[in-house]
Structure 1
Amino acid sequence: MKLLLSLLLALAPCFACVAQTNHAQWNAAIEAFESSDRANPPPQHAVLFIGSSSIEHWKSVAADFPEVKVINRGFGGSELSDSTYFADRIVKPYHPRAIVLYAGDNDLFDGHTPQQVHDDFVAFVARVRSFDPGVAIAFVAIKPSMARKALLPKIKQANALVRNYASTQKNVTYIDVFTPMLGADGQPQPKWFIEDGLHMNRAGYALWIALLKPWVDAHGQ
C-alpha cells in the first residue's frame, strides 16, 4: 500500500501537466471568435489584445485606445500555452501590427513554475513570429492580485525571467504593471480589484491604460 501511494504521489505532477495542457476545453470560445469574425470581419493589421480574463473582461479596450484599431481575443481561465496553441486561429488570420499579451497568472496558480512561464512565453513569440516575423509583442507583467497574494514570490520570479528575455529580443517589450500596482508596503492593493480580489475594476484598467498607451500608440499606427 505504501508503495502504491508513493507511486501515485510521484505521478501526480504528470497528471497535473496533462490537465494543464487540455487545450480542447477552449474550443467553444475559439469557435465563437471565428463565428464573430465571419459575421463581422475584424480589421487587418490591428493591435491584438490576447490572453486570459484580464483581457477578456476588458470590454472597453477599443474605446480606451481610440487612436489605433484594436481586436480583443482574451479567453478567461486560459494559460500562455493556450494562446500559442490557438495562434493559427486567433492570431494569424488578423496579421496584427502589434500584440498585447496578458497571461501567466493562471499558469502559476495551476502549478507551473516561473521558468515554465518564461518558456511558454518564448514559445508564443516563436509561434507568432513564424507567420508574422516583424510583429511587435508586449508582455503585460503578471499582476499582484489580492486573491493570489501567496503567489507573489513566484510572480516576481516569472516577471523577472520574462523581463530579462524581452530585453534581449527585438520588438519584444515587458510592460511593468506589477510594480505600480503594489502599495508602499510592497503588497497587493485592494483598490485595483473588484470584490473577488482577482479581476480588476475600472481603476485597475485606468492604470493599465496609462502604462500601455505609449507602447500601443507607437506600435499600432
Structure 2
Amino acid sequence: MYADALHTAPAVPAQVSNAAWEEDMQRFAESDARQPPPKHGIVFVGSSSIRFWETLAQDFPGKPVINRGFGGSEVRDSTWYADRIVIPYAPRQVVLYAGDNDLNSGRTPEQVRDDVLAFVARVRRDLPEARISYLSIKPSPSRAQLLPAVIKANRLIKDALAPLPRVDFVDIYTPMLDASGKPRAELFRADRLHMTADGYAIWRKVVAPVLEQR
C-alpha cells in the first residue's frame, strides 16, 4: 500500500515560506565552492536538530558526512530544496530529521507521514540506489502537548517506510525517555527544545549502526 504511495505522493509539495532559508542555501553554496564535499557521501538534512549537530564529523570518524540542516524547517522544505542540498552530492545515503516543527505548525500526523513519503519519492527520482534513513521525531519537553501527535506520527511513518527497500526508520524517541516514559530533561538545553551534548551522544549511538559502510 505505502510503496504505491511513493508513486502518488507529490514530487515537490508546497514549500513552507521562510525567506531566511535562502541565506542558508547561499551559505551552503559558498561552503561547497570553498571546499567541495565528497561525492557519494552521507548527507544529513533537516531542521535545527541537524544544523546544531556540530560534532557530526567527529561523531562518525571516517564517514564522509555532510551537514545540510537548516533551522525551523519542515519535512516539506527538505523536499523542496533537495535539488540544492541533497541531489548535487550524489550521496550514497541521506539521513533526514524533521517533523516536530511540522506538528507544531499544525500539520497532522497523517500529513507528516505523507510529507516523508514525498521526500523519499523525491530522492528516489534522482538517486534510486541511495539509502534513506528517517530519524523519528524526538520528545521535546517544551512541546509536551504534542507528544500524543508525535507518537502517532512516528508510528505512521514507521509503518509507511517498513516495506520500502533501502529505507530505514530510526527510533531516537524511545532512548530519550526516562524510566517513567517522560523526556529526559538533561538531554535538552534551557529552551527544552534543542539538545545538549548528552542528547547528541544518544543520537550518535543510535545512528551509527545504520550508516552505510564503504
TM-score, structure 2 normalization: 0.91
1:196 is aligned, of 186, 191, 195, to: 191
- In 2: Cα distance, 1:68 partner to 1:29 partner: 24
State the partner residue of 1:170: 165
Percent identity between the two aligned chains: 49
- In 2: Cα distance, 1:161 partner to 1:67 partner: 34
1:46 is aligned, of 28, 36, 41, to: 41
- 1:94-113 CA deviation, whole Å, 9 max, x = no partner? 00110111001100011100
Are the counterparts in 1 of residues 44 and 95 from structure 2 also a CA contact under 8 Å? yes
- In 2: Cα distance, 1:49 partner to 1:146 partner: 24
State the partner residue of 1:127: 122
2:113 is aligned, of 118, 126, 131, to: 118
Does 2:46 match 1:55? no
C-alpha deviation, 1:25, in angstroms: 3.9
Question: Runs of 5+ in structure 2 lacking a partner?
Answer: 1-13
- 1:55-80 CA deviation, whole Å, 9 max, x = no partner? 00001101100131110000010000
Question: Runs of 5+ in structure 1 lacking a partner?
Answer: 1-17
The structure whose Rg is larger is 1
C-alpha deviation, 1:220, in angstroms: 4.3
- 1:33-112 correspondence runs (5 A): 33-112=28-107
- 1:110-150 CA deviation, whole Å, 9 max, x = no partner? 11000111010000000011000011011101000111111
Are the counterparts in 1 of residues 16 and 73 from structure 2 also a CA contact under 8 Å? no
State the partner residue of 2:144: 149
TM-score, structure 1 normalization: 0.88
Aligned length: 201
Letter in 1 for 2:65: V
| Higher fraction of helix | 1
